[in-house]
Structure 1
Amino acid sequence: MESVVYSIWLAGLGLLFVALERIWPRRPIPVFRKGIWSDLFYIVFNSKYLGILTAYASAHVVKVFHLDFLRIAVLAEAGFWTQFWVLLFVFDFLQWCVHNLLHRVGWLWEFHKPHHSIVDLDWIGNWRFHWVEVVVYGALLYFPFGLFGFSGEAMFWNGVVSTLVGHFAHANLRWRIGPLKYVINSPEMHIWHHNHPDCGPVNRNFGITFSLWDWLFGTAWTPPADPDRLGFEGIESYPDQLPGQWAMPFVALWRRASGNLKG
């Protein structure tokens, strides 16, 4: 039932941001831009199937291997609002840490590259993730949080809020949010997470829901203007459709392994 309700929220938020991007666009990006059909598949697959499946699989592991004794009873018995705020902040900080790893560990970066292959950043780009990356997030986040005994309601609303802010941060919107940028992720910050190396420093603005982690740990970067280009070195030859984006990380790792063996 919760997956159905989340799908309704997802559809509603999608329609909202389609409208907002038409009214206040940062750049003139057509609705049916290049790669849109692949991204529509990503949003259905990663939200409706893979993400939910990973979360349920993590909870199932706890039951099958009788790991309930590891649960932290204090949080399991806490009220909704306590669970919600703890989950929102702690989960987001751990996402920030994992996001750092995706950029700094070579083989993880190959699987994160499809997300950074977006050259026309908009709300739906929030879902362009390789399935291996979704599994990595699940293993490092969903499984441990299954041990905390958070209620389904708290996890559901955490998902809704994270989706809302994720859509907002990726949206093609010319919005600036003033002092709130020090707390909440936003288009003015996140576009500089996707900038091409030719436009400025990379590995900045890792925030998912909250930007405050970047300000606290020195990875925030907010120039007054937008970058001229998005992507990474070699993006010109990177696949712009889903089959190639799914295959490319494995090809890159095979080439790297073959080179090491020859060396």
Structure 2
Amino acid sequence: MEKYIDIIKKSYSDYWNYLKYELIDINHWDNFFYGLIIISLAVWMLEIAFPWRKGQAIFRKDFWLDTFYMFFNFFLLNLIVLIALSNTVSELFNDMLGVVGLSVSSFQLFDVDDLPKWLGLLIFFIVSDFVQWNTHRLLHRVDWLWNFHKVHHSVKEMGFAAHLRYHWMEPVVYKSLLYIPIAIIGGFDAQDVAIVYFFSIAIGHLNHANLGWDYGFLKYIFNNPKMHIWHHAKGLPEHVRYGVNFGLTLSLWDYIFKTNFVPYDGRDIELGFEGDETFPKDFVSQELYPAFSKKQASDKSKS
């Protein structure tokens, strides 16, 4: 137990030092803090220059709430819980494997260091995106997971910052399901992974932006604003009631597994989910919603 406590303490200390380094040192290209700011400003400028919904305000509904979510989820959440939790669970998993004489390396299919860098990154990107596509489907199909995912779907006007409005439990689910597949592939250094992360952030921001783009024939490969807006549609036909267009970066999986759905130009469709008019509007209440929603449902069933 003492070992795990030490891991938690070290995780907090290491990440705090890393965060300070990110804020102070602007001379390395893989700086996630300023990288997020640059990508966000660039996509916001595109929204302003080429608005799809011309009547939507530049500072749209919940703009500042989503901006707070963006920085909280991308940086502060790691400091508060994710890094310590991830490191502790990783060590616990390795210890459990050790009991039966195994290690994470026992599952490793190949070492990315033996591959050309571009190929290793491509494999990492495709595998992680496919796992996240499946995880995203689970968030819609499993009721208790959907309660967390409602935070993201409470967006009523799309804009780039809506990309990172999500409940803190979502990355816990995503990282947990990604752990084994990424362990099988092997390790990557931080700079290499930064390339994939920056690309994914840019595509995710564009997907949620007030832009009417579908990228032409590339829409069958990459998720895009015209496709993703239907993922946020409040009203969907019965045969797709659990959701559509689950791709995070790649739309490819939706076309392969027939979960793609763009029936017409969705520029002015209503966004949200059934009953969202009673969903909390502020950050704290949204974060607490899953804990209290079950109690509310139980109270209603008894009345």
TM-score by length of 1: 0.89
Secondary structure of the 1:102 match is helix
* Structure 2 partner of 1:112: 149
Q: Which runs of 5+ in 1 are unaligned?
A: none
Give 1:6's aligned amino acid: F
**Aligned equivalents of 1:97, 1:77: Cα separation in 2:** 27
| 1:90-130: CA deviation from partner (whole Å, max 9, x where unpaired) | 10001000000000100100100010000101110000000
- Report the equivalent of 1:193: 231
Q: Answer yes or no: is 1:218 the counterpart of 2:289.
A: no
Alignment of 1:78-97 (within 5 A): 78-79=114-115, 80-97=117-134
Gaps of 5+ in 2: 1-17, 23-30, 96-102
Greater Cα shift, 228-237 or 52-61: 52-61
* Structure 1 pair 142–25 and aligned structure 2 pair: CA distance change class (3 A): farther
Q: 2:25 corresponds to which residue?
A: none
% identical aligned pairs: 35
1:61 shift after superposition: 4.0
SS in 2 for 1:225: coil
Against the structure 1 CA distance between its residues 54 and 146, is the aligned structure 2 distance closer, same or farther, given a 3 Å change threshold? Answer: farther
Whether the 8 Å contact between 1:119 and 1:230 is mirrored in structure 2 is yes
Give the alignment partner of residue 77 of structure 1, picking from 113, 121, 125. 113
Specify which of 172, 186, 202 is matched with residue 149 of structure 1. Answer: 186
Q: Which of 205, 213, 217 in structure 2 is aligned with 1:167?
A: 205
- Aligned with residue 247 of structure 1, among 278, 288, 294: 288
- 1:124–1:170: 8 Å Cα contact kept in structure 2? yes
Q: Which residue number corresponds to residue 175 of structure 2? A: 138
Contact 1:58–1:142 (8 Å) recurs in 2: no
2:33 is equivalent to residue 33 of structure 1 = no
The CA distance in 2 between the partners of 1:254 and 1:197, in whole Å, is 26
Describe the superposition over 1:145-168 as per-residue Cα deviations: whole angstroms up to 9, x where unpaired: 245432123322221111111011
My pick for the range that moved more, 190-199 or 156-165, is 190-199
Q: CA RMSD in A?
A: 2.6
Which amino acid is the alignment partner of residue 49 of structure 2? I
Distance 1:181 1:105, change over 3 A: same
Change (3 A) 1:253 1:154: farther
The answer to whether the 8 A contact 2:151-2:286 is kept is: yes
CA contact 2:154–2:273 (8 Å) conserved in 1: yes
Looking at structure 2, the residues matched to 211 and 187 of structure 1 have their Cα atoms a distance apart, in angstroms, of 11
**AA paired with 2:82?**
T
Whole-Å Cα distance in 2 between the matches of residues 72 and 7 of structure 1? 31
Query: Quick check: 1:48 aligned with 2:48?
Result: no
Distance 1:56 1:185, change over 3 A: farther
Q: Which segment is superposed worse, 99-108 or 20-29?
A: 20-29
Residue equivalent to 2:8: none
Q: CA deviation at 1:56?
A: 6.8
In the alignment, the residues of structure 1 paired with residue 78 and residue 193 of structure 2 have an alpha-carbon distance, to the nearest angstrom, of 13
Structure 2 CA distance for partners of 1:76 and 1:257, relative to 1, 3 Å? farther
Give per-residue Cα distances to partners, 1:26-75, cap 9 Å, x unaligned. Answer: 11322322322221221111111325863675355445645444351613
* Deviation, structure 1 residue 254: 2.3
Which structure has the larger Rg? 2
SS across alignment from 1:222: coil
